[in-house]
Amino acid sequence: MAVVFTAFALAVPAAYAAANRSAEPAAANQVLTWTAGDDYTEYTSAPATAVAGRTTIVFESSAATGNTTGLTHTLTFDSANGDYNNDVSLNILASPFDAEGGKHSAEVTLTPGVYRYFCAMPGHQMMVGELVVTAAPGGDATAPEASASVAGTKNSAGEYVGTATVTVSATDTESGVATIEYALDGTTYKPYTSPVAVSTAGQHTLSYRATDKAGNTSTAKSVTFTVAASQPPKDTTPPDTSATVTGTKNSAGAYVSTATVTVTASDTESGVSTIEYALDDTPYKPYTSPVAVNTTGQHTLSYRATDKAGNTSTPKSVTFTVVAAPPQDETAPAVSASVAGTKNDAGEYLDSATVTVTATDTESGVATIEYALDGTPYKPYTAPVAVNTTGQHTLSYRATDKAGNTSTAKSVTFTVAAPQPPKDTTPPDTSATVTGTKNSAGAYVSTATVTVTASDTESGIGTIEYALDDTTYKPYTAPVAVSTTGQHTLSYRAADRAGNTSAVQSVKFTVVAAPPEDRTAPEVSASVSGTKDDAGAYVGSATVAVTASDTESGVAGIEYSLDGGPYLGYSGPVAITKSGSHTLLYRASDKAGNTSTPKSLSLTVVDGKPPADCAETDDRSTVFTGLVNTGVPNRVTANGCTINELIEDHRAWKNHGAFVSHVGDLVTVLRKEGVLDQREAAAIKKAAAQSDVGMRDRGPDGR
């Protein structure tokens, strides 16, 4: 799988050059982009190399990157294989239909070495590659210097009263500080973004470290300090108090037999010290547990509380009435049951029997009803019980009143019989389809295959039969292939296991002989356009357009060769800008594999390029990045320079990444100007990433 390192810089070439001049010597933060489409065997694009340091990872799987089917992919870094770097945990899931439209990013820190990445979706494991990370240019191997200071108000023991604030700082004179992290009292390290305020009383240790943009992390340091609790303000507020009365009430709201009073108190400052109560104007006494009052009559219970600072609440009170309990209920409920359903002649319930249980109690009232089916444990009865399992059944039942009296268990026995299935009187459903290769008239070429299907939801299919062109019906066991030329009718029917036969249906179709094999190569021609001088030479450039036609199987492709070079696929008019005489050969192939005899045309191009401020002269016929030939025509751009002259691959680039970024900016501008199409722009960017420009000293030829 080919991988491409892509650095995004959305600026015109002039703006890019200004930014490049102001760059620091150390490696800057970088953006690495992976893309995916409909293919589940490889990523559409992926970087091959990077430099160590803070990095933005972008993963896009969207319609813009070729994902037209909604396929889901992941970008996952392998953190378990010891043969690779495993210090980055990354698992990005993307599809065109997610909330981000399939484009996601993440921030990581890369270190020198090799990372393995893959797609974790089942069946996508062929989408795998390696990312080679080298040390940042300039050779920064020194970790940052980190320090910390603690601030706050101290007591005489040197402890911080209420809160201690820890400020961490770091410096790095080479690549610069990327991140600072801290961990309080042995917890996991987290990013440091502002001073850390610690207000929990006790001794604390804060560890800290820093990482520079080259990926170097300092040795962890720590500071230890103690936080003492602040002195609380003096409590002048009495406690809050409340009381609740519980017990069984009668219809008049009086408590039957006993009323229980529960008093509560709370104090958010010094805390509750004591609670007191007084019943019916008796002296106050300590409250230690809920007070049960069982003397009949009206009662008033007063209560108050005092906190540990000596503040006593204003007395409150609750008033209630206690009455004697009515005579005790000692009679169990009356309970009965009935069975309903459709019976057969034997008195059995067909398909289902429903048992309804009722109970009454004239004293305390019914509390619960329970039932047990066929010896299973008793369970609450809340609705009629439907029994649909065939066989004899016994349902036991009982009831309990609110006084706790339970009736003697009773039972009812009944039998459920299976219902008789209805007789099948419906014939099967049938259908047929005809498949094969059709010609433009809709006739099947050489062979038509008829597939008959039948279904029956009641007794099931017994037989399927067919008859071709009024012949006798015969059993259908497999699709019927018909190769005799002419018009045909295939009739079909099916019978189910109950003897019902479907109405006869039929399909009509025509079979024709296959056409003769295509043995004739395409017709091919070419034309030249451009501005000619008096001698017939083309000034500045000539554009050759090639066309081909094939009346049998059709044109498969067109190829051309310029000045003895290898044949290339023809996708659009070929621009020839290099001065001199040229010969262009062209040919075409049809879909049957026939290739035409090459034809040729000759022309001459003379230099007509207007004066332009081009850094170098490079009029090669195709675009090069270093030694890599992109195959893209080296066209003249709007300012009179060729694409090769604007690429400037002979220039002394600071590093390879700077060259790749420059090419990316350039092709973006040329796309907008219409000089390049999308495919050509992508080919030039890919070649730039594969080239060695900016990686080492290059000879004067550079080609």
Question: Is the Cα torsion angle 389, 390, 394, 397 positive or negative in sign?
Answer: positive
Predicted pLDDT at 610: 53
Question: Percent of the chain beyond pLDDT 70?
Answer: 93
Contact 365, 401 (CB under 8 A): yes
- pLDDT confidence bin for 476, thresholds 50/70/90: very high
Closest of 691, 701, 689, 552 to residue 4, by C-alpha: 689
- pLDDT confidence bin for 327, thresholds 50/70/90: confident
Whole-angstrom distance, CA of residue 327 vs CA of residue 347: 47
Q: Give the residue with greater pLDDT, 604 vs 614.
A: 604
Is the pLDDT at 553 greater than 90, yes or no? no
Predicted pLDDT at 231: 74
CA distances from 412 to 205, 408, 648 (A): 76, 14, 101
- pLDDT confidence bin for 398, thresholds 50/70/90: very high
Domains of the chain plus CATH, in order, are: 13-134 (2.60.40.420), 145-228 (2.60.40.10), 240-323 (2.60.40.10), 334-417 (2.60.40.10), 429-512 (2.60.40.10), 523-606 (2.60.40.10), 622-690 (no CATH)
Predicted pLDDT at 17: 33
Is the pLDDT at 432 greater than 60, yes or no? yes
Contact 265, 272 (CB under 8 A): yes
The token pair that represents 168 in the structure block: 């961490």
Is the pLDDT at 14 greater than 50, yes or no? no
Q: What is the pLDDT of residues 493-532, one digit of tens each?
A: 999 999 999 999 999 999 999 888 889 999 999 999 988 8
Contact 51, 135 (CB under 8 A): yes
Helix (H), strand (E) at residue 138? none
Whole-angstrom distance, CA of residue 502 vs CA of residue 432: 13
Predicted pLDDT at 555: 93
- pLDDT confidence bin for 16, thresholds 50/70/90: very low
- pLDDT confidence bin for 468, thresholds 50/70/90: very high
Q: Facing residues of 264 across strands?
A: 242
**Tell me, what DSSP letter sits at residue 579?**
S
Q: What is the pLDDT of residues 108-151, one digit of tens each?
A: 988 888 999 999 999 998 999 999 988 766 667 788 999 999 99
Q: Under 8 Å CB-to-CB from 512, ≥6 apart: which residues?
A: 439, 443, 444, 445, 485
Q: What is the 3-state secondary structure (H, E, C) of 199-218?
A: CCCEEEEEEEEEEECCCCEC
| Residue 630 buriedness (CB in 10 A; 0-12 / 13-18 / 19+) | buried
Q: What is the pLDDT of residues 351-375, one digit of tens each?
A: 999 999 999 999 889 999 999 999 9
Whole-angstrom distance, CA of residue 371 vs CA of residue 377: 8
Q: What is the pLDDT of residues 290-306, one digit of tens each?
A: 999 999 999 999 999 99
- pLDDT confidence bin for 210, thresholds 50/70/90: very high
Predicted TM-score (pTM) of this structure: 0.27
Contact 56, 31 (CB under 8 A): yes
Tell me the three state secondary structure of residue 369.
Answer: strand
What value does the mean pLDDT take over residues 666-680? 89
Q: What is the pLDDT of residues 34-60, one digit of tens each?
A: 999 999 999 999 999 998 888 999 999
Is the pLDDT at 251 greater than 60, yes or no? yes
Closest of 527, 634, 627 to residue 576, by C-alpha: 634
Contact 279, 301 (CB under 8 A): yes
Predicted pLDDT at 407: 95
Is the pLDDT at 606 greater than 60, yes or no? yes
Contact 20, 648 (CB under 8 A): no
- pLDDT confidence bin for 197, thresholds 50/70/90: very high
Q: Under 8 Å CB-to-CB from 110, ≥6 apart: which residues?
A: 50, 51, 52, 53, 55, 85, 88, 133, 215
Predicted pLDDT at 18: 31
Is the pLDDT at 417 greater than 90, yes or no? yes
Question: Is the Cα torsion angle 92, 96, 100, 103 positive or negative in sign?
Answer: positive
Predicted pLDDT at 611: 52
Q: Name the pairing type of β-strands 542-549 and 523-529.
A: antiparallel
Mean pLDDT of the chain: 89
Which residues of 469-554 form beta strands (DSSP E)? 474-475, 480-482, 486-496, 505-512, 523-529, 538-539, 542-549
Predicted pLDDT at 214: 80
Q: Facing residues of 425 across strands?
A: none
Predicted pLDDT at 7: 32
